[in-house]
Each structure stands twice: as C-alpha cells, then as structure tokens.
Amino acid sequence: MTEQTRPLSGLTVVSLEQAVAAPFATRQLADLGARVIKIERPAGGDFARRYDESVHGQSSYFVWLNRSKESVTLDVKEPAGRAVLADLLATADVFVQNLAPGAAARLGVDAASLARQYPRLISCTISGYGTDGPWAARKAYDLMVQCETGLVSLTGTPDSPAKAGISVADIAAGMYAYSGVLTSLLSRATTGRIVPVEVSLFEALAEWLGSPAYYTRYGGTSPQRAGAEHATIAPYGPFTAGDGEVVVLAVQNDREWRRLCEVVLDDAALAGDPRFGTNSARVAHRAELNAVISANFGTRPAKTVLAALAEAGIADARLNTVEDFLDHPVLRERGRWRTIGTPGGPIEALLPPASLGGVDPVMNAVPALGEHTASVLSELGRSPADVDALRAAGVI
C-alpha cells in the first residue's frame, strides 16, 4: 500500500486542537492517509502534552492521539500568525477546531466566516454544549459532561456513583466529528456541496445515553447502579470462583438462562423457578439469583467454570487488568501491535480498529512540538529569513 492509494491520500487537514476530542478525530483521518497539520501554541503546545510523563517522559494521552501528524507552532492571536493560518487554510480540505467558547469567532475561523473565505473548505467545530443555546459560553470537560448527561448516576455501586474510567464524552465527540468529516467529504465529492460539521461533547454522549433515557422516560424509573453487573439484565456480571479468580458471564435471553441452569449449574429445575423465569423477574430477584450462582461457582476453580460456560454457549470473560489486556492473545495473535516513533523513543501502538481490505493504515511518529514548522512554512513560500523573523517575534 503506497501513500497515494490510501483512502484519504491527497487531502490536507488543518487543526487548531487540544486535549482529546479533536485530536482523536484528526488522528483517525491521519490513519487513513490524510495529511494532518496540527497547530500548537509556541509556548507549551497542546496542553495534553503535559497531562503526565508516563511514556518515555511523554503524556500517555498525547502519544495515543497524535501519531502521524505534523506539528506547527503558531501564535494565531498575532496578525502574522493569523496570516500564516490563512495561507494554510487556503490549501486545506478540512479545518477542525475545539477552541474555547467564542475563540473561533474572535479569530475569524468560525464556520460562517470560513464558508465565506474558503468555499471548498469543510469546517468541523467541536464544542462543549453547542455553539448556540443557553450553554454556548460554558466550559466543558469530560467529567462535567458525564455528570450533566446523567452517566455518572448510572455508573458505580449502589452506594457510590463513579465516572467512567476513560474519557467517554471526549471520545464520543471525536468519533462523531470523524464520521461527520468523512460524510462531508463524501458530499463534496459526489454533489459539490460543502456541509459544515458541528459536534458537542454533551450531545455526543447524550446519544450514548439512549437506552437508559428511554428506560427512564417510559419505564418510570432510572436504571439503578449495579457495579460491574448490568442494570437491567440478569445474570450479567462477575462471580468469584473457588480459586478466587473472577469469572464474568452474560445471559441475554431465556434460552441461555435454561442452558446456564442445565449445563453450568447442573440444576435444570432452577430454570422454572418463578423468581427467575423471565429477565425482569431475575432482575427483581438479583440478590437471590447471585447467591445461587456464587455458591455453585465457589465450589470449582475458574478454569472449570469457564469450560462449562463455553460448553453451554454462554458468553464469558475473565476480569482482566490493563496489564492483562496489554498481553491479550487476541491482540498478539492477530498482529494488532505496531512500533512507532516518538520524541522520547519508540512505543507500541494499536492498529486502528476498522480494518480496510488491502489498506495499510498510516502509523507514523508522534511529532515533537513545532517539529514541522519550518518545513511547512517553506511550502507556503516563506524564506528562511522570514521563518527566523517569525521565530524571533515569538509567532512560531
């Protein structure tokens, strides 16, 4: 697979991005061959570079989200910086930004301004709560959005709510921004119509709250926090085997429930117990059901329990740690790891989850801050003397 034959080869993305949502969207465009020029502040760059120092002295977030990009330092608040940005946008196909509320309009890079200046440019705006409406000016970070959508009220134990362990609001927004840009590129290619893209963290995560939202509005009660169990399906969750290992199982329907009773629990009569005859009944009597299963599993090692679940056709898993996941046989035996470069040294990175037949994703290095500033400015016609003057003025 050559660079020219990847799906997005030949397309240029300019991004005024920071943190997670926009960088996740643009990294996926880079995976498919787009050239992504990441604009960063001269003093420190994307603040996600300094979230932690766990990866050869670099941030785990940053190395995950920014491979295969070109880093250009540019102070876009300065007239000379805005002039460089204008030259970049004149050659770009897509512009992505997740600036603070109101900042894009002040810089003249909001969707309406860009549509007037660059009629073939696709703009993608990522905000916290939308660019209009009562919360347009409100700052939004992942935890705030998890709380405002009600996700935190659903996550955790009955006694203690908890946030999701990853940045789900940011990731959701990044995914919808990515798919929105692809859709707009398709529209431009097939109809010539330029469709601007707007995604908010709140509305992206609101979409993911669809099931509990319907359950609450039309069922009359909100799903209750159930720890690692499923709030509305039972049995569905972790159980400790006799050797102390935790086995996770999921029963999705009455046929699987009967198989669990007959093959795994060796108690066919249990399937007809009126306390457990339907999923709703099993949820209502979850504590009694869990006691029955726990007592059974507690007499056998996890290996034996897992073998019985496999024989019965019941979905199962082990309760892995992140360390276990890193050495997972599925990733290892399917060859999902690749070595990429970073300023601090080589690291292992996962291939993108969508495998396209005959297409090798781009897996290039994570850029150092401003690594490509001089080369990109040279492409724009700036002389070495011009570059030196911009650097001396603090613009780059």
Does residue 291 contact residue 246 with C-beta atoms inside 8 Å? no
Coil, helix or strand at residue 249: strand
Q: Kindly report, residue by residue over 332-369, the tens digit of the pLDDT.
A: 999 999 999 999 999 999 999 999 998 999 999 999 99
The overall average pLDDT reported for the chain is 95
Interatomic CA distance for residues 252 and 246, integer angstroms: 20
Q: Kindly report, residue by residue over 236-285, the tens digit of the pLDDT.
A: 999 999 999 999 999 999 999 999 999 999 999 999 999 998 999 999 99
Other Cβ atoms closer than 10 A to 201: 32
Q: Show the CA angle centred on residue 47, arms to residues 42 and 51, nearest 5°.
A: 140
Does residue 121 contact residue 94 with C-beta atoms inside 8 Å? yes
Active site (annotated) includes residue 230: yes
Over range 26-44, report the average pLDDT: 97
CA dist 259 to 39, 262, 354, Å?
A: 57, 5, 34
- Find, among 164, 145, 155, the residue nearest to 202 by Cα: 145
pLDDT of residue 3: 54
Sign of the alpha-carbon dihedral angle for 285, 291, 293, 296: negative
pLDDT band at 231 (very low <50, low <70, confident <90, very high): confident
Interatomic CA distance for residues 4 and 360, integer angstroms: 12
Q: Kindly report, residue by residue over 274-314, the tens digit of the pLDDT.
A: 999 899 999 999 999 999 999 999 999 999 999 999 999 99
Choosing from 230, 285, 328, 372, the catalytic residue is 230
Return the percentage of the chain with pLDDT > 90, whole number. 94
Interatomic CA distance for residues 299 and 306, integer angstroms: 13
Interatomic CA distance for residues 369 and 385, integer angstroms: 21
pLDDT of residue 68 exceeding 80: yes
List the alpha helices (DSSP H) in the chain. Answer: 21-31, 60-65, 79-90, 103-107, 111-117, 142-148, 151-154, 168-191, 201-208, 210-219, 254-259, 279-284, 286-297, 302-312, 322-326, 329-333, 373-379, 384-392
pLDDT of residue 212 exceeding 90: yes
C-alpha dihedral, 273 to 276 to 277 to 282, nearest 10°: 170
Q: Kindly report, residue by residue over 87-100, the tens digit of the pLDDT.
A: 999 999 999 999 99
Domains of the chain: 3-209+332-392 (3.40.50.10540), 236-318 (3.30.1540.10)
| Amino acid in position 296 | N
What are the two backbone dihedrals, phi and then psi, of residue 232, each rounded to the nearest 5 degrees?
A: -130, 10
Q: Are strands 122-127 and 94-97 parallel, antiparallel or unpaired?
A: parallel
- Find, among 16, 34, 12, the residue nearest to 110 by Cα: 16
| Amino acid in position 377 | L
Place of tokens 């509990």: 212
Does residue 271 contact residue 258 with C-beta atoms inside 8 Å? yes
237 has which bridge partners?
249
Q: Kindly report, residue by residue over 123-149, the tens digit of the pLDDT.
A: 999 999 999 999 999 999 999 999 999
The token duo for 176 is 């919808």
pLDDT of residue 5: 80
What is the tally of helices (H) and strands (E) in the chain?
18, 13
Over range 9-38, report the average pLDDT: 97
